Structure 1
């Protein structure tokens, strides 16, 4: 069983990188271009708009696998920042640590998915691999 799955690991890593980038990219599109219309993103402050630009541009780079390790590291930091600022301490008088209660589950998952990609690399199906970068 282990041999059967391990031969697919490099390809699935590339797929994981692409899907992670695509999901982050969709948040950027929603925040910057207001598509699709999401009530929460209708009137966002400048800090969340800046996060939207990071998700849009770096999500696209992650999808194609260009500068993957650096991009994933930056996105990991952005997601950690988003969790602590936008979820855990949304109400500074009453910080809420539990992700289930503060709606921060996606931010935590993205943070650690991107941290994993920063350490594992882009996989064989990427611009970085085509250019001979590791």
Structure 2
């Protein structure tokens, strides 16, 4: 039984990368493209929200595709950590109470991906095998 679970690790890594990238991407598409729902307020070009939307959009695409996974995930990890400390930590110490558990989890998942890469089912792996 342990062999079955151990052999699924590389596939699970690729799935974690894909889903984490897609979940980050939806924040970027909401801010930058108004999809799936428009951001609650207009975003001014060059604002902090605009830059966060660009990072979410670009890193979300790269991480989901598994292309330049390590640097994109490293940037996303730092970005989500900053988002946690700027937007959530001032509301209180505990992430469950300040609404920051998702940002904190994103930060650690992306830090993990920046260390281990995109997994066997990624564009990085495909380019490495050429």
**TM-score, with normalisation over the residues of structure 2?**
0.90
User: Alignment partner of 2:128: what SS?
Assistant: coil
Moved more, 44-53 or 109-118: 44-53
| Contact persistence 2:26–2:36 (CA under 8 A) | no
Cross-structure match for 2:111: 115
Cross-structure match for 2:58: 57
Cross-structure match for 2:81: 80
Moved more, 78-87 or 1-10: 1-10
Specify whether residues 112 and 14 from structure 1 end up closer, same or farther in structure 2 by C-alpha distance, changes over 3 A only: same
Q: How many residues align?
A: 127
User: Alignment partner of 2:120: what SS?
Assistant: coil
Q: How does 1:61-72 map to 2 (within 5 A)?
A: 61-72=62-73
**TM-score, with normalisation over the residues of structure 1?**
0.88
List, as ranges, runs of 4+ consecutive aligned residues in structure 1 with deviation greater than 2 Å.
36-39, 41-45
| TM superposition shift of 1:43 | 3.6
RMSD value, Cα:
1.6
Cross-structure match for 2:41: 42
For structure 1, the 5+ residue unaligned runs are 90-94
User: Alignment partner of 2:113: what SS?
Assistant: helix
Q: Deviations over 1:17-69 (max 9, x none)?
A: 00000000000001112222256x32456212211110101100111111101
